[in-house]
Copies of this chain bind each other. A is one copy, B any other.
């Protein structure tokens, strides 16, 4: 029996009888010849079939046996001369023509028919880039002495606040889906000093926006023995630089990522001034983020800009205040092309500070607070939204385009 060759490796097998396995990407029946373009995990390859032979329709799964021949006018310079074809699965015609250069479908159709539309080479490339980005995240942190962890997604108390949590019936008790691994990654700094986690987080977002989902993949990291949040930012910059390089390598048409050696850093108070906002604003609005992104690109040639020092009043209880002025915090956001991509910062590390910040709420968090009661170093961390990163990178207008099977207010399938 002939051996299988991937579409990208035909040139190494000229003259050999091989098997090409994949989906019929396109069938073109001309008067004197039929062309089958076969799609496999490596790409596309053309099969030349004598005219008049019955060939299966698009998306059928086939095993073609044939001889590899060089042909200057074939895509890639090589093609397969048909000897036999076995149809492994017949397919109904796809709801969207996958051989077109772009997917001709609106967002609802794109998502409703995800099982098929994701097969389009352009769609597939986005998620191959996503996998490359996640790998770069891990490789970078592995190289810095981090350890990967898996922490619970079902929790007894809401992590960040009582809002936006999904509740479930847990063997007759009330439990919640974790909004983030925050408490656990901090706890694990006590064990490994440096940890990361790649996993789902859950937010019952009641808003229908182009940048929020009910669940997304969070790339979390946390590290101990930092001086302040700037040490966290230094690690984050390395991570995002590696992720950007890895992801764009697989996206030929993507805009190159501009990330100078020194990513600009602006204090929150200065950021408000730069964008002409009221100095009493407690947070940055989306239009402020866009203006800061434009400023960073114009002034620093950077797609990224750090905003540090967000007001303590708008940050969660575990946020470490800015030592020089405790109205501000040692926290930051990293904006990517004018949109928040990462939130991070230094955390409090002294038990007494937690007890004071939490007040009566400390009661329900004794498992978490045990880490601080029994000695924790100065530490901090960050969380990157994977789908949002891919959206900014590819220029997708909606984060749903960079999520395999998104979940939102309305969508629970496929």
Q: Which of B115, B376, B409 contacts A374 (CB 8 A)?
A: B115
Report A387-414 CB contacts with B as 1/0, cut-off 8 Å. 0000000000000000011010100111
Known: A412-B173, A412-B175. A92 touches B200 (CB 8 A): no
Kindly report which residue of chain B lies nearest to residue A213, judged by CB atoms.
B152
Q: Which of B215, B367, B372 contacts A152 (CB 8 A)?
A: B215
Contact B414 A215 (CB under 8 A): no
Does A184 belong to the interface (CB within 8 Å)?
A: yes
Contact B202 A154 (CB under 8 A): yes
Q: Which of B115, B130, B138, B153 contacts A215 (CB 8 A)?
A: B153
Kindly report which residue of chain B lies nearest to residue A225, judged by CB atoms.
B21
Q: How far is the CB of A99 from chain B (nearest CB, A)?
A: 14
Contact A405 B128 (CB under 8 A): no
Q: How far is the CB of A177 from chain B (nearest CB, A)?
A: 7
Does A119 belong to the interface (CB within 8 Å)?
A: yes
CA distance A100 to B106 in the complex (A): 63
Which of A162-170, A255-263, A305-313 makes up part of the contact surface? A162-170
Residues of chain B contacted by A187 (CB below 8 angstroms)? 114-115, 118, 414
Does A147 belong to the interface (CB within 8 Å)?
A: yes
Does A59 belong to the interface (CB within 8 Å)?
A: yes
Q: Of residues 175 to 208 in A, which have CB atoms within 8 Å of B's CB atoms?
A: 175, 177, 184, 187-188, 190-194, 198-200, 202, 204, 206
Does A107 belong to the interface (CB within 8 Å)?
A: no
Residues of chain B contacted by A370 (CB below 8 angstroms)? 113, 115-116, 414
Some 17 contacts from A to B, beta carbons below 8 A apart, are A21-B225, A24-B375, A89-B372, A89-B377, A92-B374, A95-B374, A118-B188, A135-B148, A152-B215, A153-B153, A153-B202, A154-B412, A167-B169, A171-B204, A173-B412, A199-B200, A370-B414
Instruction: Given contact pairs A127-B149, A170-B412, enumerate 11 new A-B contacts (beta carbons under 8 Å).
Output: A4-B225, A40-B193, A89-B375, A115-B371, A131-B148, A135-B138, A153-B202, A167-B168, A167-B169, A171-B409, A198-B198
List the 10 closest A-B pairs by CB distance, nearest first.
A367-B414, A91-B375, A41-B193, A168-B168, A59-B375, A156-B412, A115-B370, A115-B371, A131-B148, A61-B377
Kindly report which residue of chain B lies nearest to residue A111, judged by CB atoms.
B367
